[in-house]
Structure 1
Amino acid sequence: YNPSFFKHLVCAFLIIVSVIYFLIFDFVKKKKVLKLEEQELQEKINLLANDSTRSNALVKSLNEKIQRYGSLKGMIEKLSSSFVLDDIARFLVNETSNLLHEKGNVCILYLFDQESKELGILATKKEDSVAIIKSKVGDIFDQWVLVKMQPLLIEDTEKDFRFDFEKIPQKDARVFRSLIASPLSSGKSMLGVLRIDNPHPGVFNSEDLRFLSTIADLGAMALENAILYQRTKELAIKDGLTNLYLRRYFSQQLNQEVIRSVRKKSELSLLILDIDKFKSYNDKYGHIAGDIVLKTVGNILNSYFSEPGNLVCRYGGEEFAVLLPEVAKSKAIKLAEDLRRKIKDFDIFLRKKKTNISVSIGVATFPSDARTKEELILKSDMQLLKAKDSGRNKVCYS
């Protein structure tokens, strides 16, 4: 036994243990450092991945915006080339539906009537052919846009605190949960409302609303131009007082209808009527009263003969004419009698005094009474004179 050797052996062992402990400690320490570095690196990778995802989404969104707004160039060209109101409305709803085809289900364009102060459907585009639009004057959302003259985004109709979902009329006829709507306006003048909706909630966002508003602005300019163009055309063919067609336009249409009746071998009836003792209203109440009488008769005629195809004109002075395509003589006589009674029973107030007016009516039908346009007018006029000569407030026919 050598104590010195044993002492050196113990020292060597302790040194080896110390070295091993140090190496283990250093390894653990470095492992922790590497673990932290790995976590930091993973976080950076995740951030880069998120940035990449956001960048890809942003690129995709920008491409969609470029594609959307790029398509507006063709829309502008199309809108600027048309002055027909119905054509513009149909084009707007079709293009809006196409550009938002992934989101929209039903697109509606309402036109605002300046006289009745109500909205009325002008055009629709439905992706779902069975969808039924029962509200022809708009719902609470359209009325909101109309009154506020501001665009509207509804993410969920059942959760939007601004509106009472229970007040939506006929909500069971066509289900929609989300919508965007924009006013069609020019300055302070309201032209209508353009809207698109979807049966699912959360479909539309603020970017969709901005895009719809851009379309609405372009559409409003085209609609206004079409309305002004239509009014300009009507000024040339309509009487300013009664809003009935002028005699020149009536004569042109009568010629076309006679040709059509010959081709189709159908009947064509003509009514010519005259306000009885019209001069007495001017003499007793003044010329303003005479204008009131003319406008009243014009309104009754417009309302009574409102079916498509009928044509009413102010023939001259206190005379009016009504063209009734494909109407047999017997029916024309009945219509004339009903009209005579309707006018006679209508109360009119002149200088706060209630009075009634009457008309005399002559009826003729092509081809049974006449073979030409001129002869048809002559025969109707002769029957009118007969009605006036036999006491007025009558209907006469061959």
Structure 2
Amino acid sequence: MTTEDAARDADRREIQRLRELIAHNSDWLWEVDAQGRYTFCSEHSLALLGYPPQEVLGRTPFDFMPPAEAARVGAEFAAIVAERRPFAGLINRNLHADGRIRVLETSGIPLFADDGSLAGYRGIDRDITPLIGSLNPRLVQLEALYAAAPVALGLIDRTGCFVTANRALCQLLNPGSDASLIGLLAADYLPADQLDVTELFTRLLDAERLPAQPLERDGRTYQASVQAVRASDDALIGLTLAITDVTELQRIRRQLAETNAQLERANARLSELAETDHLTALPNRRRFDETLQIETARALREGTPLSLLLIDVDFFKRYNDRYGHQAGDECLRLLARLLREIVQRPTDLPCRFGGEEFAIVLPATGAAAAQQVAERLRHRLHGCAVPHGSSPAGRITVSIGTATLDEQPTVTGPLRLGELAASLVEVADRCLYLAKREGRNQVMAARV
């Protein structure tokens, strides 16, 4: 036998030895390509999954898992592939050919092509079903949902240790680590100033129903829901923990509250604008009508007098024609300022009635007091000595009519109330007309 033949024989024996090692290994050895398809499969797939290698090759690990489990493990494996890193202890549930669930623990290392690109993974699967007992598909689905839930879920026993903790909870309390929290003290990851587990157990022992607990962590806001776990004899044996990230929800709530506040301010401003005269900034005719109705009803209800003043600028058209509309506007603004100055109480309402006419609603004011207010306004304007060359007085003056509801007639129903308010306006308007007919720059008064 030549040296070359001896070398080939040695290689054959080594290959045979490796095949026997693979065949007799209790673990399942495999390789997958970059798309996750099996390119190599040891004979142990028959024992673990009930499928011989020829029925496994070309398929993916997820083809042998229940759908929910395939989605969960597929997402984890995709993250591993994206980082091109080795992994170990990836627990996954698989459907055996006979319909039973087999739980495997998978570990693998990446394989690279000569150009450095990822060629696939090589690894082993170990059957750990005997370690955890038999599982039915429904339980596997529930466990998969629990593990993949976006809400951080966990169970804490009376010693304060985690009994279960899903992936979201592990990432929340121990970010950047793949380590499990099971068996670890909750207080080491949830300080008492964040969530006092000892106090929570005390309150649950007292049968207290716990509201959601606020939790601040790493600049974010969470809401922790806590429920008691009791044994068949009603003894407290633990508590469940569900932690939800409400940072965005609270941000949206704050934005909504601010938006609502802005809308309220805008509506208030619109309402104010709708009831305000733009030239004089006094309440307008709409506000006058509403206020007069309200104060008429109050006067009837409380048995108090109510007075109304109607004010008209004398020869205002002549003033506009001679001095121009801008001067006319300044005259109206001056009169509006005087009206604000002479009213003494918050309930008194000076308004622009229309054109060069103004009005003042005077609640709880009798005829004599109303006439005093009218005369005070007339004298104040006369004292301003605003020139008016087209008026016999040589200055701006006003004529005023006042009407007072002194006697209290019996009024029922909204229609009669409206008629009474309208009669106040009618009487004040007649008095104003009389004042103008009698020479202007004077006050005329009457009772309703």
Shared fold (TM-score, shorter chain, > 0.5):
no
Could you say which structure has the greater relative contact order, defined with CA pairs below 8 angstroms and 6 or more residues apart? 1
> Which one has a larger percent helix, Structure 1 or Structure 2?
1
> Which one has a larger percent strand, Structure 1 or Structure 2?
2
TM-score, normalised with respect to structure 2: 0.39
TM-score, normalised with respect to structure 1: 0.44
